Structure 1
Amino acid sequence: MAQIVLLVVVCVMYSWKTHGSSAVTTVFVQKGKDLHLDVKELLVLGKDDEFSWTYNKTSNVVRLFHDKKNKISDSYKGRVEFSVQNHSLLLKNVQHSDSGDYTALINGDNIQCVAEYRVIIQDPVSPVQLSVNSVSNSRESCNLTVTCSTEDSLINSTFTCDTQTCHQEGGEQSKVTTSGSSLRVYLLNDSIICNHSNQVNWTREMKKIRPLCSLNAGENPVSPVQLSVNSVSNSTESCNLTVTCSTEDSLINSTFRCDTQTCNQEGGDQSEVTTSGSSLRVYLLNDFIICNHSSQVSWTRDIKEIRPLCSQNAGETERQNN
């Protein structure tokens, strides 16, 4: 232990003396992937020299002796590949516990630090969803509001288009999520981009604005909708819920049934023409109930996810009933 601490001190001094030849390089790696660390310069070891890769400046990963024999530490056996020719290190299937500092050292008459990396292991980011909350048209412009969301964060944003161009109110919007990744919503040409990223992975959803906007009608935008849950009942095998999709002059009642695998809507997709001539529709999309109100110039919707409303634990339901 004392020898390794001494090597660390000398490594820092050597790095300073050689004007950054072994400056720390930060490397981000996705969890489960392989980590490859290089020694940039060609090394020629003397007969009494020993080369090593150390982790967090307290333990050896691998050691190379003057007779070209190497020793991989027990805790890394089966996970490490080491090249005697170029002294590179390959660490397989990295986990969060592998985050830390990796240092390449030559210990001989003079102790040299020839490479140093700060390794950060990250999870891939979660999927994003870009949902359009409302669309409102006039003869000259179209306004729409969207939500860019991931499992722990969301951004609301408004876009306005005329017959020539579109712009985003307040410009590009971004935030750091609670997990430390970046969530971003922005305008690219005539498309809205919802992007979720970190240093090792990214995912995005995109919607084109023009198909959502109609700028050639003089009708008023449709009124808001409300999707309300009237009742939920559970058994050991299924969950039944009834909902009402309503606007100011019309409503539709519908029943949905879920088992542990799938959900279905009794009677399928339901719709009707309202007294004002617009269309009111309630339907199932994946595990979401959608209540949609639309005309030729605008639309709005309300959404509820089914699974959080259903408790498949019948025992819990029975205890509540008792």
Structure 2
Amino acid sequence: MAINHRLRFLLCLLTFKTGFSAEISVVVQTGNSVQLDIQTQELPEFEYFFWKYYQSKYIVKYINTTKDVRLYTSYKDKVDFNDKTFSLTLKNMQKTDSGLYTAIATEESDNNIVTYRVSVIDAVEAPVLTVNSNWISGNFCTVNFTCRAHELKINSSYQNNSCSPEEVTSHENYTLILYCSEEFIICNYTNPVSWKEDKINIIQLCVKEENYSNNNQSESPPLWSVGVSVAVCTLICLLVFLYCKYKKGAQEEVVEGSTIYSQIQAEAQPQEETRDNQSTTVYCTVGQHQKPTIPPETDHAIYSGMCKPNNTPSAISQDDT
């Protein structure tokens, strides 16, 4: 796994050689491993071989006479040493592991074989490609868009089936690149250890917008039809309003007529009752003044029958007789 993550294939090497020693810049992604080689096929005569961190902190010690390998405590689980090639593999690199790593062969004096300047950085985040506006004119589709990643940003436009490639770079070697193909607008964000991109299918975008424009034109009704529809709706509402008003007025007249009839009937009934009472009273009075000379028993019976309130014709005929 460590071999697969060799940063020799991903990095940018800056080499400054002085005699047999060299300093090589290496960039590794956080969490990955990196293999540091001695960059030479033959080593001078030596008794001890060391890998050091900043020339002061020992990582590993190799004794040539006994072929013994000693890994120092703080690096036992973090490095692998090859006692045949003398390469050092640093595992699970973190940002705190950035710094200088030096290979030293010692006989009577120290010989710096190679020095690596290792930088540990994070992978890039995915950029964001945003369409700001687009329209179609004839056979040409124009799209304005923004390519953005972290603090870097590019504003551009797609016209006449192409766009101008653009590139911006930050001081930390983060680069934002924008370019177009016949089918895509591509926004690429990269650093020395990783890259990510976002893209938009320009053909689908332009076809979609063109279809949308055509559909809107075909589905839009003419102005005269809109006016007619409004007039018809207004007329229907007016007729409904007049009908409701007429119906309400008719109901009020019926209720008012019923009320008047009830009042008249109520006023007429007491008069009839009064008339009946008056007739009964007169009838009884007349009966009292027309007593015939008959025995008391018969007189009492006839008087009672004549004073009985009865408005039938038979009672009146008896009185007249």
Which bin holds the TM-score, normalised by the shorter protein? 0.5 to 0.7
Q: For residue 307 of structure 2, what is the aligned residue in structure 1?
A: none
- Equivalent residue letter for 1:58: S
| 1:195-274 to 2 correspondences below 5 Å | 195-214=188-207
Q: For residue 233 of structure 2, what is the aligned residue in structure 1?
A: none
| 1:301-320 to 2 correspondences below 5 Å | none
Distance 2:222 2:189 in 1: 40
Q: Identity rate of aligned residues, in percent?
A: 29
SS of 2:118's partner is: strand
Q: Could you list the per-position Cα deviations for residues 104-133 of structure 1 after superposition, in whole angstroms to 9, with x for gaps in the alignment?
A: 111113432222211111101111221212
> Cα distance, 1:214 vs. partner?
4.7
- Asked if 2 retains the 8 angstrom alpha-carbon contact of 1:23 and 1:116, the reply is yes
> Cα distance, 1:176 vs. partner?
3.1
SS of 2:22's partner is: coil
- Asked if 2 retains the 8 angstrom alpha-carbon contact of 1:191 and 1:207, the reply is yes
Cα distance, 1:69–1:121 mapped onto 2, change above 3 Å: same
- Asked if 2 retains the 8 angstrom alpha-carbon contact of 1:172 and 1:186, the reply is yes
| 1:1-322 to 2 correspondences below 5 Å | 16=18, 18=19, 21-43=20-42, 46=45, 49-66=47-64, 67-161=66-160, 166-168=161-163, 171-177=164-170, 181-214=174-207
- Equivalent residue letter for 1:208: N
- Equivalent residue letter for 2:162: H
User: Normalized per residue, which structure has more strand?
Assistant: 1
SS of 1:213's partner is: helix
- Asked if 2 retains the 8 angstrom alpha-carbon contact of 1:139 and 1:217, the reply is no
SS of 2:189's partner is: strand
Q: Gapped runs of 5+ residues in structure 2? A: 1-16, 224-321
**Structure whose CA Rg is larger:** 2
SS of 2:204's partner is: helix
- Asked if 1 retains the 8 angstrom alpha-carbon contact of 2:142 and 2:158, the reply is yes
- Asked if 2 retains the 8 angstrom alpha-carbon contact of 1:152 and 1:178, the reply is no
- Asked if 2 retains the 8 angstrom alpha-carbon contact of 1:54 and 1:103, the reply is yes
* Number of equivalent positions: 204
Distance 1:153 1:31 in 2: 22
Cα distance, 1:94–1:275 mapped onto 2, change above 3 Å: farther
Q: Could you list the per-position Cα deviations for residues 85-111 of structure 1 after superposition, in whole angstroms to 9, with x for gaps in the alignment?
A: 111101110001111111111111343
> Cα distance, 1:152 vs. partner?
4.0
TM-score (structure 1 length as normaliser): 0.56
Distance 1:119 1:110 in 2: 26
> Cα distance, 1:220 vs. partner?
8.0
> Cα distance, 1:38 vs. partner?
0.9
Q: CA RMSD in A?
A: 3.3
